[in-house]
Amino acid sequence: MDFEQFQAASYGDLQRLVDSLFLGREVVERLDAIVQAELMDLDADLQEIVELVPPGAYDRQRLCDQINSALAAHGWGGAYGTVE
C-alpha cells in the first residue's frame, strides 16, 4: 500500500524564514531566527524546530544544516520541507 507523503499547509515556511534572515546579511544569531519565526507567526512545530538550533552565530549553510537536522530528527522534512 503506497502512502503519499503528507505536506503541511505551512510547507516551505522555513525556507521563507531562512531567505528573510539572510537578506543583506552573511551571519545571523540564533535569537534572530527565533524572533523572526515569531514575527512570521510560524506554527508551533516550526517554532520548535527553530528553537532547537543551538545558541550561536550562523552563516546560511550552517543554519540550514541545523534546521534540516532537527527536521530529520522529527521526521518532518517531507511535511514541512527542508531548507537551503
pLDDT by residue (tens digit) across 12-44?
999 999 999 999 999 999 999 999 999 999 999
pLDDT by residue (tens digit) across 38-66?
999 999 999 999 999 999 999 999 999 99
Q: What is the pLDDT of residue 5?
A: 62
Q: What is the pLDDT of residue 3?
A: 36
Beta bridge partners of 39: none
Q: CA 1 to CA 83: how far, in whole Å?
A: 29
3-state DSSP call for residue 59?
strand
The count of other CB atoms within 10 Å of the CB of residue 63 is 25
Q: What is the pLDDT of residue 6?
A: 76
Q: What is the pLDDT of residue 1?
A: 34
Q: CA 35 to CA 46: how far, in whole Å?
A: 13
